[in-house]
Amino acid sequence: MGGFSKSRLERVRDVLDGYVRRGDVPGVIGLLSRGGETYVEKAGDVWPDTIFRIASMSKPVAAVAAMILVEECVLRLDDPVDEYLPELSSRRVLTRIDAPLGDTVPAARPITLRDLLTFTWGLGFGQGMWGPPGTVPIMDALNALGQGMPAPAKAPAPDEWMRRLGELPLVAQPGEKWLYNTGSDVLSVLIARASGQHFEDFLRERIFTPLGMADTGFSVPAESLDRLPPQYVTDFASGSTVVYDPPQGQWSTPPAFPSGAGGLVSTIGDYAAFAGMLLGGGAYRGARIVSRPSVTLATSDQLTAEQKAVSGLAPGDFDAMGWGFGVSVVTSRTSLYHGVGTYGWSGGLGTTWYNDPAEDMVMILLTQRAWPSHLPPVINRDFWTAGYAAIED
């Protein structure tokens, strides 16, 4: 399979330069890899070794960590997780999404590892949960547990976090619907308890070190903080761009709770190694992390039509998308980019990654400007479009 058209790759550079020149993002770096050919383009004040807060791009990492333990028969996909997470036994379920937290019925069955990986375990974010504080009690409770924008300095240590989570009812019966985010944080605790290691130590030993991901972790050491730019968000009241987190901010010290849902930092080269491992069937440059069957399973759509019909952060989210283990999966091609079978995920703080196995292609885009909504911003769509347009057969 071929790589890219050199002349058409110039469009990628022009696209990224334009967004920086117009002030849409302060800096951006993109990577395209296909058929053994890798292209990296940057614009603004970022560099190949710049460290980014990758937010929800942490979720696929947590899922791979879980599959390592499945392959070792420490965990099993369809076994209840009660042995390691007794806080989740004997669950109660809200009678309606905006009900008082005590208005519940018993859960029909226990929660399994498969439920956590597919975000169908019964708790997380979904349609009907957005509203002013006080209108959806379970939303307020999840926000109090640090389930909104990544904020590593705010969450308590894992055992205390699980204790508080265990006091909350589920939003839906286990296996009933997809609900975003919280399952990956529960995986963080499950993996640590099942492996007998701190979650970050497990990731470092089993994934980061074998893949050479030296700059990936839950905090940035003091000697590397000059490579961590400020994180920007939009102040919706004024419309202005403001600093959400400075270099010496929340990611400058190890967090009490290492969040598999949104806590990692990484560089474009580090995450390219992780993406390349998945595209390579679980192995990258001689390091095997998981087996090819594990990758195939994790990157296949696991949701039923019935689950999709009642799920999503907004209506239509699953019209052309499914969900595997920690990744979305394209089920219908609706754009020039992202063919059927493309999988990956994005981070709301301004990052995105997708693998397209049919094209043997990796696409990563990193900025330090948070998304204004749950939908991909225009810079992402333009980067994907320019990347696909540069494909050389």
Which whole number is the average pLDDT over 366-373?
A: 94
pLDDT tens-digit profile of 251-271?
999 999 999 999 999 999 999
Which string of b and e fits 87-119 if b means at least 16 CB within 10 Å?
bbeebebbeeeebeeeeeeebeebbbbbbbbbb
| From-to residues of CATH 3.40.710.10 in the chain | 6-57+212-389
Q: Which residues does residue 44 pair with via DSSP β-bridges, in sequence order?
A: 27
Is a pLDDT exceeding 90 seen at residue 236?
no
Is a pLDDT exceeding 90 seen at residue 205?
yes
Is a pLDDT exceeding 80 seen at residue 1?
no
Which whole number is the average pLDDT over 334-349?
A: 97
Is a pLDDT exceeding 90 seen at residue 235?
no
pLDDT band for position 374 (cuts 50, 70, 90): confident
pLDDT band for position 2 (cuts 50, 70, 90): confident
pLDDT tens-digit profile of 267-298?
999 999 999 999 999 999 999 999 999 999 99
Is a pLDDT exceeding 90 seen at residue 309?
yes
pLDDT tens-digit profile of 3-20?
999 999 999 999 999 999
pLDDT at 133: 87
Is a pLDDT exceeding 80 seen at residue 55?
yes
Asked whether 60 and 352 are in contact (CB, 8 A), the reply is no
CATH code of the domain made up of 6-57+212-389: 3.40.710.10
pLDDT at 134: 85
pLDDT at 328: 98
* 3-state SS class at 366: strand
Which whole number is the average pLDDT over 86-110?
A: 97
Greater pLDDT, 303 or 134: 303
* 3-state SS class at 158: helix
pLDDT at 240: 87
| From-to residues of CATH 1.20.58.710 in the chain | 68-195
Is a pLDDT exceeding 90 seen at residue 151?
yes
68-195 CATH fold: Methane Monooxygenase Hydroxylase; Chain G, domain 1 (1.20.58)
DSSP 52-75: EE-GGGGHHHHHHHHHHHHHTTSS
How far is it, in rounded angstroms, from Cα 197 to Cα 192?
5
Is a pLDDT exceeding 80 seen at residue 165?
yes
* Residue 264 CB contacts under 8 Å (≥ 6 apart), including other chains: 53, 54, 57, 58, 61, 216, 217, 218
pLDDT band for position 131 (cuts 50, 70, 90): confident
Asked whether 80 and 112 are in contact (CB, 8 A), the reply is yes
Is a pLDDT exceeding 90 seen at residue 211?
yes
Average pLDDT taken over every residue of the chain: 96
pLDDT band for position 86 (cuts 50, 70, 90): very high
